[in-house]
Structure 1
Amino acid sequence: MKSAPFEHHEPTTVDEAVSLLESLDGPTILSGGQSLVPMLRFRLANPDVVVDINGIDSLDYLHEEDGYLRIGALARHADVEDSSLIDETYGSFADVAPLVADPQVRNRGTVVGSVAQADPKGDWGSILLAHDGEVIARGPDGERTIPADEFFLLPYDTTLDDTELITEVRVPTPAPREGSAYHKLKRKTGDYAMAGVAARLVLDDDDVIETARLGMTAVDITNARATDAEAHLEGERPSSELFEEAGGLAAEESNPESDEHGDAGYKERMVDVLAQRALGDAAERAGLVKRRVSQ
């Protein structure tokens, strides 16, 4: 099946794209197209107007600048997967990139596109939440910074305005003793997560947890933080017992639904297990002299 006819625009600057979003009636933005194109093909989506931003070269970047890791709107999943900067410094990013769908999707799909889609089964939203990330959007009134905690509203619904374009997502560069990790359960290659947990820990010089973050995937109506588990971790020294307690709290905070892949109780148990594993890896990457936790 072919898509229904639509009007196609190809801006080459951010200003031109924003102007199109403001002037056109209900346009749909195309970047990687790994969700939109199949929906067009099967006529599950029938936009009258598509604004294709792939010609905006200034949005294709992945680098550190001004205290942030900045990922432009046209950086692909594969760019993260292949980055030596990511591999050396950003554990959770290095973990998640190879787990996104399959190589074909990673070569074309974009990190920002995944965040913008706001699918609760998408991995990048949990990574942003665990890293206190921000979404940078440009609209007719200028640039706006949206904390990840305030971005996701409902499945496929965000606080982004219809006339705004996400230009980048960003997270603070790691503290000296910071570690992060992501663990995910899925049925097979190419599947979305059945459950996933992103963990980030910052330790002080005495191996006490100063900051703890846990972002959860596919177990609530949006990507969500396990704030009770975070509070339980902060001020404590990493240990398998502590992480077991935090995993249990994260499971209690999750709100999964039963489906063909498993019932809600099973998914809660997986949050518990995945949280413990992610916390163990994050603690090790934060530079513990001796690993105190087990998987």
Structure 2
Amino acid sequence: MKAAPFEHHEPSSVEEAVSLLESLDEPLVLAGGQSLVPMMRFRLAVPETVVDINAIDDLDYLRETDDHLELGALARHADVERSAAVAENYGSFADCAPLVADPQIRNRGTVAGSIAQSDPKGDWGSVLLAHDGEVVAHGPDGERTIPAEEFFLLPYDNSLDDAEIITALRVPASGDDEGSAYHKLKRKVGDYAMVGVAARVRLDGDEIADASLALTAVDITNVSVPDAADHLEGEVPSGDLFERAGELAADHSNPESDEHGSAEYKENMVRVLAQRALADAVRRARTDDPAGAVGSDQTAVGDD
């Protein structure tokens, strides 16, 4: 099946893109197109107009500053996978990128596009939440930043206004005493997550000064777990501490039974993967290799 006929617009600036979104009737934005194009092909999406932002060169970047790691709206999954700054400082990003689909999709798909899609099975939403990230959006009234905690509303729905586009994603710069990790349960290589857990910790001496956990595919959106964070902060890392945090994460999850597993099984995997991700995050915070392969045994069904 082919896509229905549509108008194609290719703006060369953010301002032009916003003007098009404001003036046209229900246009859709195309960045990587790895979700939109298949939906159009099977006519699950039938837009009259597509605004293609790939010619906006100013959105094609990934950079680390003193304050932030920032991904422009056209930063591809593969850009994250190959980034030296990510490999050196952001373990959860380094874990997540190679787990997204397959190389072809990673070469074209964008991280911001995944966030805009707001699929609760998407990995990047949890990573953004775990890092207290924010979405930078541009619309008719100019630029605004949206905390990740306020961005995801419902499956495939978020707090972007109709004439807004994401221009960047930002997370605070990682310090020497910080580590993070992402673990994912999947049916086979390239699949969406059945369960995913992103963890980030910052140490102060022997204690956890700050922590966060976020979950993939076990609720109607990607969600953070504040009870687990509260339980971890001010404590010395230990297996017992991580086990209790995993239990709190499982209690916070709300998975549904499906052909891939029961809700009980998925809750148990939240508990297990939370412990693994936390252990990896702490190990990375204590070493000079924050994105090292301590959490590389990403889980396929049957590994546990």
Task: Compute the TM-score of the two structures, normalised by the length of structure 2.
Answer: 0.94
- AA aligned to 2:129 is L
Q: Output the CA distance in 2 between the equivalents of 1:164 and 1:222.
A: 21
1:182 aligns with 2:182: yes
Instruction: From the superposition, tell whether residues 231 and 288 of structure 1 become closer, same or farther in structure 2 (CA, over 3 Å).
Output: farther
1:100 aligns with 2:100: yes
* Partner SS for 1:252: helix
- AA aligned to 1:28 is L
In structure 1, the partner of 2:57 is 57
Cα drift, residue 66 of structure 1: 4.9
Q: RCO (CA 8 Å, sep 6+): is it higher in 1 or 2?
A: 2
Q: Output the CA distance in 2 between the equivalents of 1:212 and 1:89.
A: 16
Q: Deviations over 1:103-125 (max 9, x none)?
A: 11100000000000000000000
Within 5 Å, give how 1:283-294 maps onto structure 2: 283-287=282-286
Q: Which runs of 4+ in 1 moved over 6 A?
A: none
- AA aligned to 1:226 is V
Q: Output the CA distance in 2 between the equivalents of 1:121 and 1:104.
A: 19
Q: Output the CA distance in 2 between the equivalents of 1:265 and 1:84.
A: 39
- AA aligned to 1:161 is D
Q: Output the CA distance in 2 between the equivalents of 1:253 and 1:143.
A: 33
Provide the aligned length of Structure 1 versus Structure 2. 291
- AA aligned to 2:160 is L
Q: Output the CA distance in 2 between the equivalents of 1:220 and 1:120.
A: 7
In structure 1, the partner of 2:251 is 252
In structure 1, the partner of 2:241 is 242
Which sits farther off after the overlay, 61-70 or 179-188? 61-70
User: Please, which runs of 5 or more residues in structure 1 have no aligned partner?
Assistant: none
Q: Deviations over 1:201-242 (max 9, x none)?
A: 00102x111111001000000000111111100110100110
Cα drift, residue 246 of structure 1: 0.5
In structure 1, the partner of 2:292 is none
In structure 2, the partner of 1:29 is 29
1:81 aligns with 2:81: yes
In structure 1, the partner of 2:302 is none
Cα drift, residue 176 of structure 1: 2.7
- AA aligned to 1:109 is G
Q: Output the CA distance in 1 between the equivalents of 2:27 and 2:209.
A: 44
Q: Output the CA distance in 2 between the equivalents of 1:175 and 1:66.
A: 10
* Partner SS for 1:231: helix
Cα drift, residue 64 of structure 1: 1.1
Q: Output the CA distance in 1 between the equivalents of 2:159 and 2:92.
A: 25
- AA aligned to 2:183 is H
What percent of counterpart residues are identical?
Answer: 72
Q: Output the CA distance in 1 between the equivalents of 2:138 and 2:148.
A: 16
Q: Output the CA distance in 1 between the equivalents of 2:8 and 2:66.
A: 36
* Partner SS for 2:221: coil
Q: Output the CA distance in 2 between the equivalents of 1:157 and 1:42.
A: 21
Q: Output the CA distance in 2 between the equivalents of 1:24 and 1:64.
A: 35
Q: Output the CA distance in 1 between the equivalents of 2:23 and 2:237.
A: 54
Instruction: From the superposition, tell whether residues 83 and 288 of structure 1 become closer, same or farther in structure 2 (CA, over 3 Å).
Output: closer
In structure 2, the partner of 1:272 is 271
* Partner SS for 2:95: helix
User: Please, which runs of 5 or more residues in structure 2 have no aligned partner?
Assistant: 289-294, 298-304
Cα-Cα RMSD: 1.5
